[in-house]
Structures are given as structure tokens and as C-alpha cells.
Amino acid sequence: MKKHYLFFTGLLALAVSCSQGPSGSMSDSDLNIERRVDSVLAKMTLEEKVGQMNQISTGGAATGPVLGNNNDMTDLRAGKIGSILNLVGAERTREAQEIAVNETRMGIPLIFGLDVIHGYRTIFPTPLGESASWDTVGIKESARIAAIEASAQGVHWTFAPMVDISRDPRWGRIMEGAGEDPFLGSMIARARVEGFQGKSLTDNNTIVACAKHYAAYGAAEGGRDYNTVDISMRTLNDIYLPPFHAAVEAGVGTFMNSFNEIAGIPSTGNEYLLRDKLKGEWGFKGFVVSDWNSIGELVNHGVAADEEEAAEIAIKAGSDMDMVSGSYLENLPRLVKDGVVDEKLIDDAVRRILRIKFQLGLFDDPYKYCSVERENELLLHPSHREHARDIARKSIVLLKNEGQVLPVSKKTRTLAVIGPLADSKKDLLCTWTAKGQPDEAVSLLDGIKKKVDDGTRILYEKGCDITGDSKAGFASALSAARRADIVILAVGEAGDMSGEAHSRAYIGIPGVQPDLIKEIQKTGKPVVVVLMNGRPVTFEWTAKNMPAILETWFLGTEGGDAIADVLFGDYNPSGKLPVSIPVTVGQIPVYYNHKNTGRPFEKGEFFTSRYLDIPNEPLYPFGYGLSYTTFKYSDISLNKTKIAFSEPLIVKVKVTNTGEYDGEEVVQLYTRDMVASVTRPVKELKGFKKVMIEKGETAEISFELTSDDLRFYNDKMDFVAEPGDFKVFVGTSSDNVKEASFKLIENGSKD
Ligand code: GLC
């Protein structure tokens, strides 16, 4: 069988080197790739083109309703499959690749995709938890390691980073993102894309990333997964789109649609999102894959009468590849032949898909990712575990430490370790665990045992289950607590209570755990509450009545060691909340970058925006996190009080470590546009720096702001900054800042 493209591989293979991400400018290698894409495309039949747009799932647990036509190697041999998700392993991917390359007319290699969300075999903190580190360098390294491990098992493409902004902890998938803020979310999106994609997609230890779920999936009404999203164009563009734009600027190779509609238009069929914004305004050159059956689900949405119409809507809107619905394979050839769909749309989609395959180097070596040797050498490498421990402890947020209960002495005579999560390994990995193995994780109990002196007695009691109403374990737990000098109490959600299709209407600590906390508190012993959760949970009583609380999310393979590092003071906690923690579920949505309203809350004033039964403020706000030391912020200074457009404003602040421990501090910079053509948030994060400040030392931190940083979608939906009065805030949390004022003036104006 003649291999058309092999000829070109021979001629141009040497010429092809790494090319910038699909949205980067055209380099020589880009031009070579374009020539190769065109040459392959020119030889393809319509059916073969549509085959490239068809993705099936096989070899792993379905992440959605199984649609039946998967695992079909017959289709593969017929050139009807361009991508397979959930198939991993050097040998298994090689088997499928050999069929695609040697037994189809065109011999176009497959691209293998998998959800590598927070690690592959070495599992890192859940993305929301890792975002609490505010350590973009460390976050990038986690993605880098995940790519190294996944590519060693044949994975070319991860369906990550998930960059959905969310202000609603009822939504289980809040754990997959970077929280509530567009700026932090954008910085982390960039870090994760760069980590996965490395310096060049042609390297065999880089994988193409996927910005998902485009868009506004996190704004589901009621926090109920897959539910309707109805937000304004301004909120969409100001809040939900920036991390996606950041991913494009970082060179992300692919996007994934979201399941939801936005104001009546499902994302999978949303031409504004896909062609106007993504491929038009942002110049995205990669391809868009649907989410699991989201093309077929246009019928459920009620915008398509059947899957044929769904395929027509999706391709016209700009969805390039069909994840498992089969609608494209079944309908596009006929729609083109009937003149309903222009073949140019098919060509554009296939060009985008082939471009990524060329950029991955798959045409030059379809088996470059199928190496058993690399598989054995790299998975769970000690250096990977070391990083996992480091980023995990940096993700821990110290919420409370009354009476300096923490850090705990390693010489403590008797330590009670209690709670249903104290000795759990599986929960530490949470969901989207790729090839992570629970038995390779370090539980909190394990971590504590390794830390304390030989003379320390550890009394471990589970106390109760995570859910359920049995208190049968309380008595022995209380007995252990009474015999101990201090109690470490590990409570929270099960790892599988967050994630896809796991919304909760009650988001308190589940089961009888709250009762256990109260009973332990009655013993009068010093207690450290170690919270473990995917989504933020509510714990108002605990926050008021317990002296020390650590938010540890689900920290992954090295979770137990990381928590023990913090518990015993071998690492001074530095995490800051990437999302507000509500007082109660009734307060949702609660977020720091809210509007002022016409009747902002005023103590003592009845007719103002407030609740009768709870405060407006969250239990713990965005950007909040304590340290074992203390930091004092001096007044902030500005180099000017007036700046013209594009003129830099230099903001400086001195931060002194006034405590007894060296510590890292996340210095945060916010602005407020006081008067504008539309209402503006009372604060917006515009910068942050995580700095180590030794005890007794003072650091001077400076930020640079220009009018570009002050842009928003104005009353005409133009993305501009408007002249006028601004405030600038610098501090340790969104609710604890020093402020100054400045004016943005028209160029050449005097005031
Ligand atoms: C799921 C998820 C998506 C994931 C995909 C493939 O339904 O929504 O995030 O990447 O299917 O597993």
C-alpha cells in the first residue's frame, strides 16, 4: 500500500523542528508543517477527513455514558478514527498506532488523549488545592512531571488544564480549577499549559494541553453540574474568559467545549465562542474537541432535532473533533455531499488536527511515545515524589492557630490521631487520578509516625466513617483523646465527593464528623483540625470553637508527609485561599471581587444589602492564609499619583517578618476603578509575589501597573481602561490591605 505522506516525511523530516504553539507566529518550521499538512490534506478523501475528526474511547473507565461504538478496531482500519482517549501503555498504544499507520490508506498516526489532571502516576494536590500555593513555578513543574510520566506511557494529549472560574463550592468540579479569580486563574492556566507542553511539542516528554471547559462551565445555576448558565456577555468576558485567553497566549494546542449552554446557546454550537472569539479575535490555530458526547447532547439541549442537525450546528460553530458521540462520522460526509456543510469547514478542522499531530512529531515517529524503558524508568521517580511533597506542603492553608497550638512538638509524649481521613490513602488522591495508585500514597498517620520521636506514643482511632450516622467509634476516639497531650483530628469529604457529576446541596463536613469534632472539643485537649476536601466545605462551628485549623485539600501521593512537615514545623505554611469559603451554603455565591451595589452594607443601617442571619463576609476570604510567623506591612508608596495611558505606576510596600519563623508570604496587589461607565468590582487582583522573608528581615516588594492592567468591558463592550480615580491595595489577603489612590489621565491631559 503506497504511503503518500512518507515521501514528505523523508524530504522534510529534518527540516521539522519544534514550532511555537498553534497560536504563535509562523516560524520556518511552522511553514514546513503547513506545507506538510496541505500535502496530506490534498490526498485525503472526504471520509478520511471526517475520520480524523472522530475520537473514540477505549481501554479505560468511561467518563460519561458509554455510547457503544467504541473499541472498534474495524473503524480504525477503515481510517474512521483520528484519536483515542483512555488507551494508555507503551504496548497498547503501539498496537493501535501500528494499525493506523500500517493498515490504513493514508497511514495518519493517531493522537492518544487522557485526563492527566493533577499528575499521572505521581499524583499532585488537586488543582484547586495546588492553586492555594500561588506558586506558579511549582505548579508548572507539576504539569511538567505529569507530562514526563504520561508521555512515557504513550499519552500525547491531556485534557487539562481545566481553567473554569467558579464561585460555587456546591459544584463538585470546583476542585479541578484554580478558584474564583480571573487573574490568578490566568497565571495558573499559563503555568500548567507551559508545564505540559514544555519547550517543544516535538520532544518525547511533552504532551499537548487542552484548555477546558470552554466556557463558563463553573457558572452552572445552583452549582448543579451540567446545569444552565445564564450570564451577561460582560461577566463572560471579564470573569470567565481570561484564563482561556491566557492559555491561548501560552500556546495551548487544543480546547475543549463545555457541556453547558450560555444564555441559550450551548458551547459546543456557539459560534461567538469558537469562531468569533477563540479562532478569530484570539487567533487560535489549534483544534477544539467536544466534551464527552456534547455534540450529541445538542439534541437534549433542544437546539438540534437529531444528531445530523447537531453535527451541522457543531461544525459550523467551530467544533473540530467529536469526542465519542459518532455524530460527525455518521453525518458529515452526507451533509457535505448534500451541500449543507461546506467542505472548507471540514478542511479547516482537519488542518488543525493534522497541525497538532505534526507538531507532536507523530508523522516523523508515530511510536516516539511508546517506550517501555521510559515507562519503567520515569513513573513515580523519587524526584517526582520529592516535588509532590514540596508543592503539597506549599498548598496547605493555615486558617487558624489560636494559642500557637501549632507547630506540634516532635517530642510530644502522647499524640492522638483521630478521624476517618487520618489513615486514608485513596482519598488523598481524590478523583481524576489517571494512573495514581492509593497504596503508593503516604497517609497522614504514616507521615506523623515518620516525624515524631521514638518516645512518642501515637494513639490512632478512626472515630467514625466519612458518611453515615454511626457513632460506635466515638467512645474509643474520646478515650484516646483524653489520654493524649494533643489531638490531630482529620476530617472532611471523601475523595470521590467532589469532581464531575458530584454537586452537593449541603456542603458541610459530612456524616457524624461534626459531632465527633464537638465531642473531642469537650475533652478540653488542644486539637488541630486537619481538613481534607476537594471543594471548599462549610464548618462554621469548627471555625469558631477549634483553636487550630489546616485546610489541606487533597494533597496527592505525598499528602501525609506534606501535612506532617507543616504540623511539626518543618515547613512554615504559606498557602492562601484561591476561593472564598462560605459561612453557609446559603451565602453562595460569595466572592471577593463583588460589586458595591447601590446600598452597600453599612453597620446599623437597615436598608442595606445584607442578611438578617449571617454576615456578608465569607468564613474565610480569597487570598487568606496565616503563617507560623507574622508579617507587618508598612504603608504603600506610589511613584506617581497620576499616570497617563501605558505609563507605568510603580507600587512599593515593605513587608517585615516580625515573628519567630522564616516564612513565605504571598504579597497581593489589588485595584479598584472608582467610577466607570459600568459598575466595577470593589477589588480586583492585579498582581502577587510569593517571597521568602527571614525572621526579623524586611523585604521591599514592588509592582508595576499600567493602564493595560485596568482594562475591562465597558458599556459598549469595548475592552478598554477609562480615565479616572483608582485605588490600589497591597496586603496579605483580599480583606487585609493597605491602600493608596491614583488617577489615570488621558495622554497629554493635566488632570
Ligand atoms: C468528561 C469531562 C471532561 C473530560 C472528558 C474525557 O465528561 O467533562 O473534563 O476531559 O469527559 O474524559
**Over the stretch 492-520, which tens digit does the pLDDT of each residue have?**
999 999 999 999 999 999 999 999 999 99
How confident is the prediction for the chain on average, in pLDDT? 94
Mode of pairing for the β-strands spanning 287-289 and 265-266: unpaired
Q: Is the pLDDT of residue 1 over 60?
A: no
Please state the three-class secondary structure of 235-269 as a single string.
Answer: HHHHHHCHHHHHHHHCCCCEEEECCCEECCEEHHH
pLDDT digits (tens, 9 = 90+) for 579-619: 999 999 999 999 999 999 999 999 999 999 999 999 999 99
Lowest mean pLDDT among 57-61, 65-69, 311-315, 468-472: 65-69
Q: Is the pLDDT of residue 66 over 50?
A: no
Give start-end residues of each CATH 2.60.40.10 domain in the chain.
631-745
pLDDT, average across residues 292-306? 98
Spatial CA neighbour of 577 closest among 648, 626, 538: 626
Quote the CA–CA distance of 72 and 76 in Å, as a whole number. Answer: 7
Maximum alpha-carbon separation in the chain = 84
Q: Which of the following CATH numbers is that of domain 395-587: 3.30.365.10, 2.40.30.10, 3.40.50.1700, 1.10.1140.10?
A: 3.40.50.1700
Q: Which fold has domain 631-745?
A: Immunoglobulin-like (2.60.40)
> Of all atoms in ligand 1, which is nearest to the CA of residue 160?
10
Predicted confidence at residue 59, as pLDDT, reads 60
Distance 174 CA to ligand 1 centre (A): 14
Q: Which residue has the cell 496565616?
A: 626
Q: 212: Cβ below 6 Å to ligand 1? A: yes
Cell of 602: 453599612
pLDDT digits (tens, 9 = 90+) for 77-97: 899 999 999 988 888 888 889
Q: 292: Cβ below 6 Å to ligand 1? A: yes
**pLDDT grade, residue 374 (50/70/90)?**
confident
Q: What angle do CA 629, 634, 639 make, to 5 degrees?
A: 140
Q: 217: Cβ below 6 Å to ligand 1? A: no
Quote the CA–CA distance of 299 and 52 in Å, as a whole number. Answer: 23
Instruction: Name the CATH superfamily housing domain 42-375.
Output: Glycoside hydrolase, family 3, N-terminal domain (3.20.20.300)
pLDDT, average across residues 712-725? 97
pLDDT digits (tens, 9 = 90+) for 97-149: 999 999 999 999 999 999 999 999 999 999 999 999 999 999 999 999 999 99
**pLDDT grade, residue 8 (50/70/90)?**
very low
Give start-end residues of each CATH 3.40.50.1700 domain in the chain.
395-587
Mode of pairing for the β-strands spanning 631-633 and 649-657: antiparallel
Torsion over CA: 322, 323, 329, 330 (sign): negative
Local structure of 462: helix, strand or coil? coil
Predicted confidence at residue 21, as pLDDT, reads 45
Amino acid at site 743: K
Q: 159: Cβ below 6 Å to ligand 1? A: yes
Distance 167 CA to ligand 1 centre (A): 21
How crowded is the C-beta side of 9, counted as CA atoms within 13 Å? 16
Quote the CA–CA distance of 347 and 331 in Å, as a whole number. Answer: 16
Distance 214 CA to ligand 1 centre (A): 12
pLDDT digits (tens, 9 = 90+) for 658-680: 999 999 999 999 999 999 999 99
Cell of 550: 489546616
Predicted confidence at residue 662, as pLDDT, reads 98
Predicted confidence at residue 22, as pLDDT, reads 47
- How many residues belong to the chain? 751
Quote the CA–CA distance of 521 and 722 in Å, as a whole number. Answer: 53
Please state the three-class secondary structure of 538-549 as a single string.
Answer: ECHHHHHHCCEE
Q: 500: Cβ below 6 Å to ligand 1? A: yes
Spatial CA neighbour of 736 closest among 591, 613, 592, 611: 592
Quote the CA–CA distance of 723 and 270 in Å, as a whole number. Answer: 34
Q: 240: Cβ below 6 Å to ligand 1? A: no
Give start-end residues of each CATH 3.20.20.300 domain in the chain.
42-375
Q: 431: Cβ below 6 Å to ligand 1? A: no
Predicted confidence at residue 278, as pLDDT, reads 98
> Of all atoms in ligand 1, which is nearest to the CA of residue 210?
10
Crossing angle of helices 4-12/28-42, nearest 10°? 170
**pLDDT grade, residue 376 (50/70/90)?**
confident
Q: Which of 268, 291, 294 to mutate to test the pocket of ligand 1 (most atoms within 8 A of CB)?
A: 291
The residue from 181, 291, 322, 390 that is catalytic is 291
Predicted confidence at residue 24, as pLDDT, reads 45
Cell of 633: 506591612
364 part of the active site: no
Q: Is the pLDDT of residue 58 over 60?
A: yes
pLDDT digits (tens, 9 = 90+) for 19-48: 344 444 567 778 899 999 999 999 999 999
Q: Which of 115, 208, 431 to mutate to test the pocket of ligand 1 (most atoms within 8 A of CB)?
A: 115
Report percent pLDDT > 70 for the chain. 94
Q: Is the pLDDT of residue 64 over 50?
A: no
The residues pairing with 154 across neighbouring beta strands, listed in sequence order, are none
Lowest mean pLDDT among 16-30, 102-116, 317-331, 736-750: 16-30
